[in-house]
Structure formats: structure tokens, C-alpha cells
């Protein structure tokens, strides 16, 4: 059966080449049920001399994508740069798609961050917790109000104008503007990055469950075909035995009938005169 037939390097390279075409990628991204797309891939494979069903092409592509993502996560966690045989070919497609998704996620995260800042403006004096904001304080103070730098009101002495003679007008007090320390939200950004990693893990788990489901379905279908073949084989054997039995019965019946005819003929033969 097809399950026992391994994928050779040239066959896998041909499959990746067809799957990575821009037209095929657009069709895969624009359709929810992509069975017809994999039928086209299977037809292209057949035209190039490789006989693979659409389901086997789908399972192989998902297995390659799963191995690529697992190795990429492993390299990210351990700081390594391991590569598989098909890493560069897959990265040309999946890496480009990840960058596109990353730009979309960054835009969404920027919007959500702006909304969170706007929602916090009403309670700015209450302070933020350490889980949301990087602490910027003076003398290890926990209150955010201490992070603000207040400038004292300093008298500014201006020279007397020639037309002014009053001592009260010799000193004019001016208030300098208060500088504001910018709020740093590093931890919230790190939390958003962790959220993206968690979503990626959930996506990989869902894809792995789908792969297992398809493998179980494929094994069930292969087992069903095997049982049908065994039943057909058994039915053929029984039919051959029945035909053989009937042939033996007919042969025996003809033999008995022949003996009976011989006896009847001998009984009706004329007797010679005495």
C-alpha cells in the first residue's frame, strides 16, 4: 500500500517546489477547504512521474511544516542554529508568511497598547503595578508620584527698565514648567510577546492534533480496504470450492445415470428362441 512507500528526496523536493509556488500559496490562503488545491498538487506530481494521492501530499506538507516549526522553536529556546535538509526551502515560504503575520500582530498590539494607555489616563495618579510597568523611581520608592520631578518656583531677577522706579517691580517671579518622566511599559510588551508565543504553541498543538486525526483516519481507511480485500479473497475461495463440489456431484450423477441406462438396456434386449 501507499503507506509503506517512503518519500524519496527528489520526490519531496518536487512536492515542496510545487507547494511553494505563488499561485498555489494564494489558493491555499484564500480557501478554507483546500482539498481541490491538493488535488491539483497531486495531479502535478503525477505529471512529473510521482504517484501520490491528495491526502498523502497534504499529510507530507503538514509533517514538513510541523518539523520546521519545532526546530525553529528549539533553536529559539536554546540559541542554536540547527537546520534540516529542507529548512531553506520551507523558510522561504513559511518565514515570509511569519513576517506578514508578525506585521499584522504588531499593528494590532500597537492599537491595543494605545487603548490601554488611554484607559489609564483617568487613574494616572493611582500608580501601576510591577506586573504592568517597569518601575522608575527615586530612592527605591514604590509610589509612582515619586517618579515625578517637581521643580521649585525660583525667583528670576530682571534688570530695571529706565521707566520703572518702584522697588516692588524690580523682582518678577516666574514659574518654570515641570518636566515629566515618560512612562516605560517594557513589561507589558514582554507580556504581549509571551502572549504571541502562547498563541503559537496553541496553533502548533491544534495542527498536531489535526495530523494525528488524519493519520488515524488514513490508517482506518487502509485497514478497511485490507478487510475488504480479505473478504473478497475468502469469497473467491469459497466460490471455487462450491464449483468444484458441484462438478464432482454432476460427474457422479452422470456416472450413475449411465449405469442405470446400461441396466435398463440389458433388461429390454430380446431373448433368443429356445
Cα–Cα dist 168/156, whole Å = 14
- Answer whether 93's CB lies under 8 Å from 20's CB: yes
* Residue 157, strand partner residues: 171
pLDDT digit string, tens, across residues 144-153: 444 444 444 4
Contact status, residue 71 vs residue 84, Cβ threshold 8 Å: yes
Residue pLDDT, tens place only, 92-112: 888 766 555 444 444 444 444
Q: CA Rg, the chain, in Å?
A: 43
Question: Any idea where the domains of the chain sit in the sequence?
Answer: 2-90, 197-263
Q: Dihedral of CA 104/109/32/12: which sign?
A: positive
For 77, 85, 88, 182, the CA distances from 81, given in Å and listed in that order, are: 11, 13, 12, 38
**Residue pLDDT tens, the chain, 274 long:** 445 588 999 999 999 999 999 999 998 888 878 889 999 999 999 999 999 999 999 999 999 999 999 998 999 999 988 888 888 888 888 876 655 544 444 444 444 433 443 443 443 334 443 433 333 333 443 444 444 444 444 444 444 444 444 444 444 444 455 555 555 555 556 667 778 888 888 988 898 889 889 889 888 888 888 898 899 888 889 888 999 899 999 989 999 988 888 888 887 665 655 5
Element at 215 (helix H, strand E)? helix 186-267
CATH class belonging to 2-90: mainly alpha
Q: 217-224: list long-range contacts, CB under 8 Å, 24+ apart.
A: 218/3, 218/55, 218/59, 219/3, 222/1, 222/3
Amino acid at each position: 500500500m501507499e503507506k509503506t512507500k517512503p518519500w524519496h528526496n527528489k520526490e519531496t523536493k518536487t512536492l515542496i517546489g510545487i507547494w511553494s509556488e505563488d499561485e498555489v500559496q494564494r489558493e491555499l490562503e484564500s480557501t478554507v477547504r483546500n482539498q481541490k488545491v491538493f488535488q491539483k498538487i497531486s495531479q502535478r506530481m503525477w505529471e512529473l512521474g510521482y504517484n501520490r494521492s491528495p491526502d498523502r501530499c497534504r499529510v507530507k506538507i503538514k509533517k514538513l511544516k510541523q518539523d520546521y516549526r519545532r526546530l525553529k522553536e528549539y533553536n529559539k529556546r536554546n540559541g542554536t542554529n540547527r537546520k534540516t535538509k529542507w529548512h531553506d526551502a520551507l523558510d522561504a515560504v513559511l518565514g515570509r508568511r511569519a513576517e506578514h503575520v508578525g506585521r499584522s500582530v504588531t499593528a494590532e498590539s500597537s492599537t491595543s497598547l494605545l487603548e490601554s494607555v488611554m484607559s489609564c489616563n483617568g487613574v494616572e495618579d493611582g500608580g501601576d503595578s510591577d506586573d504592568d510597568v517597569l518601575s522608575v523611581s527615586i530612592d527605591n520608592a514604590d509610589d509612582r508620584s515619586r517618579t515625578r520631578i517637581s521643580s521649585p518656583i525660583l525667583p528670576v531677577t530682571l534688570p530695571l527698565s529706565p521707566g520703572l522706579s518702584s522697588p516692588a517691580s524690580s523682582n518678577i517671579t516666574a514659574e518654570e514648567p515641570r518636566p515629566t518622566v515618560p512612562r516605560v511599559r517594557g513589561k507589558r510588551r514582554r507580556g504581549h510577546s509571551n502572549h504571541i508565543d502562547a498563541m503559537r504553541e496553541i496553533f502548533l498543538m491544534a495542527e498536531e492534533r489535526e495530523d494525528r486525526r488524519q493519520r488515524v483516519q488514513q490508517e482506518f481507511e487502509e485497514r478497511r480496504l485490507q478487510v475488504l480485500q480479505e473478504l473478497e479473497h475468502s469469497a473467491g475461495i469459497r466460490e471455487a470450492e462450491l464449483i468444484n463440489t458441484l462438478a464432482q456431484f454432476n460427474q457422479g450423477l452422470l456416472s450413475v445415470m449411465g449405469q442405470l441406462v446400461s441396466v435398463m438396456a440389458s433388461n429390454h434386449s430380446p431373448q433368443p428362441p429356445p
